[in-house]
Amino acid sequence: MSAALGGANVQGLQSAGPANSLGVTATIKHFAGYSESINGHDRVEAQLPIRYLQDMFLPSYAGGIKAGAGTVMVDSGSINGIPATASHFLLTDELRGRLGFKGVVISDYADVPALAGTYHIAPDLAGAIAKAVNAGVDMSMTPFNADQWQAAILKDVQDGSISSARIDQAVGRILTLKFQLGLFDHSRVDAGKANAAVQAGRDATLQAARESITLLRNQANALPLSSTSRLVVTGPSADSMTNQLGGWSVSWQGVFGAGHVCCMGPPNQIPPGTTVLKGLQAEDPNVVYAPDQATAVAAAGSADAAVAVVGEKAYAEGLGDNPAPQLTPDQKALISALQATGKPVIVVVIAGRPIGLGPAESANAVLMAYQGSTEAGTAVADAIFGKINPSGKLSVTWPSDAGAPGGDFQTGAPSPLGDEPKFFDQLPGTNSGQGSGYNPLYPFGFGLSYTSFQTSGLSAPAAVGSNGTMTVSFTVTNTGTRSGTDIVPVYVRQPVSDVVVPPRRLVGFTRLTLAAGASTVAHVTFSVSELAVTPGDIDGTSAPRVEPGAYRVQVGSMTSDFTVS
């Protein structure tokens, strides 16, 4: 899934440039293992067996590399005691040798000097530069002291610490990318086009927001609502573009209003867009805004339903480090108070990740809108009033809430951090205790619709080569009463393997829009190489390969066996 989403992102970004020029290049980051440090925080050490690194992490990067990403940014942390910025194995053997990357490798912020100043694997800046460049770094993100950098790298070349050939190689890659970007033809940005650029693409942004919204709960068909419903809208994210856009949207920690001082980016640069409140008001004249809990509860008495827009504020690295992200106590109290009125409560979650929902788990309906862009407010209103049929599916697992069942199985006390991490393709083990298996609140790929679908007629080849591709076919039928879009995943299971593998592996998916009662035959093709794993014993470090033998493809409840030779 990460490979497919990353590849599509790269293709979209790099197709936005003028004719005969990239215009924009995508950066794949952070290579690699950045997301699994020992304590879950940014820029700290990871301990990753090479098999785990190769089989679980690198395939995600491969999707963006195959799509032609121009640059890769290096992980700021260390892996198995070696800073990623200084790892020849990671940046040359794996990234270029095994994944085939041809572009520019760039360090993250000040990470090359950190080899001397923080990690102490080099005595000075010159030594740090030599380690990074020889490992495979082509460009350093050096935000200060450029003159010191120049003097140090010249010293490295003069004393032979870095060869002239390596300098030529790195510079050649950088210049090639700059030519591809058209920077020598148009070296300056036309500031007069800035406003038009900010306004451009809003239709495509709205489409993306509509297609990503995920309906997590819809008890007794609480949604959709009539566009003439009397609604009270409340919550800290109901009318907040800063929360809606999230981190890295304009500045490092998101978009900030006047008076906020941040280390990166000027304040008060909120782009034009539509908040959830404004989106609902545009489609329903009976919407009332309640800025606080008391007002919301009072207004609910004469309302048909309450819409609580909750979630997280904008965040990025550092501020976003949270072992158990969840709704704040005041947001939980707001939802509980609205539920106590007896009126239907629709919860809209504005967040960049799954969060603990608390009382929202039992709301009449729950919509995950993510931090879904400037147009997310319109998309949410369209989903609530049924102008669109929600079709988004979770691309990650939503773990069970902190304090929910799944805590200490001996004492019955809830886990203070929730029952996580959880992922659908985690390796099996022999622990049968409570919470040891895959028991999420909402599983990977989950998402409801205002209609229903059924799959049937699975067909797949009986045999395929390890270097080949495989196409599976099946029928999808819209069995409901209105048109809708379904996303159907295709999994593969390996009944017996020399190396422990996940119970199922996602190899492909398809997205289909069908009218009520309509059917279509879907075809999903995947490369058998996606089933490759690193062979050998615990110390396995060789290149991944596909193990010959029996496999089983699965679509919904249907299965079909095949062999790989």
Question: Could you read off the pLDDT of 489-542 as tens digits, one per residue?
Answer: 999 999 999 999 999 999 999 999 999 999 999 999 999 999 999 999 998 889
pTM value is 0.90
Amino acid making up residue 218: N
Whether 231 and 287 have beta carbons less than 8 Å apart is answered as: yes
The one-character DSSP state at 463 is E
Looking at the predicted structure, is the pLDDT value of residue 420 above 80?
no
The CATH homologous superfamily to which domain 2-180 belongs is Glycoside hydrolase, family 3, N-terminal domain (3.20.20.300)
pLDDT tens digits along 158-167: 999 999 999 9
The percentage of the chain sitting over the pLDDT mark of 90, rounded to a whole number, equals 71
> What angle in degrees, to the nearest 10, is found between the helix axes of 125-135 and 164-180?
70
- The region, left, alpha or beta by phi > 0 then psi within -120 to 50, assigned to residue 251 is beta
pLDDT higher at 428 or 205: 205
Whether 464 and 564 have beta carbons less than 8 Å apart is answered as: yes
pLDDT higher at 197 or 89: 89
Whether 125 and 149 have beta carbons less than 8 Å apart is answered as: yes
Task: State the pLDDT at residue 406.
Answer: 38
Parallel, antiparallel or unpaired: strands 27-31 and 484-493:
unpaired
What distance in Å separates the CA atoms of residue 504 and residue 59, rounded to the nearest whole number? 16
Q: How many residues does the chain have?
A: 565
Residue in the structure block whose two tokens are 């980051």: 29
Task: State the pLDDT at residue 432.
Answer: 74
Looking at the predicted structure, is the pLDDT value of residue 151 above 90?
yes
What distance in Å separates the CA atoms of residue 480 and residue 218, rounded to the nearest whole number? 15
pLDDT tens digits along 192-223: 887 787 777 889 899 999 999 999 999 999 99
What distance in Å separates the CA atoms of residue 236 and residue 25, rounded to the nearest whole number? 36
Q: Two tokens at 72?
A: 């890769």
What distance in Å separates the CA atoms of residue 457 and residue 320, rounded to the nearest whole number? 45
Instruction: Give the domain ranges of the chain.
Output: 2-180, 202-384, 453-564
The distance from CA 376 to its chain's CA centroid, rounded to whole angstroms, is: 17
What distance in Å separates the CA atoms of residue 28 and residue 73, rounded to the nearest whole number? 6
Instruction: For the chain, give the mean pLDDT.
Output: 89
Pick among 2.60.40.1930, 3.90.320.10, 3.30.870.10, 2.60.40.10: CATH of 453-564: 2.60.40.10
Whether 225 and 231 have beta carbons less than 8 Å apart is answered as: yes
What distance in Å separates the CA atoms of residue 16 and residue 434, rounded to the nearest whole number? 49
Q: Two tokens at 266?
A: 């000027």
Pick among 3.90.650.10, 3.40.50.1700, 3.40.50.620, 3.40.190.10: CATH of 202-384: 3.40.50.1700
pLDDT higher at 420 or 35: 35
Q: What mean pLDDT is predicted for residues 383-409? A: 77
Whether 491 and 560 have beta carbons less than 8 Å apart is answered as: no
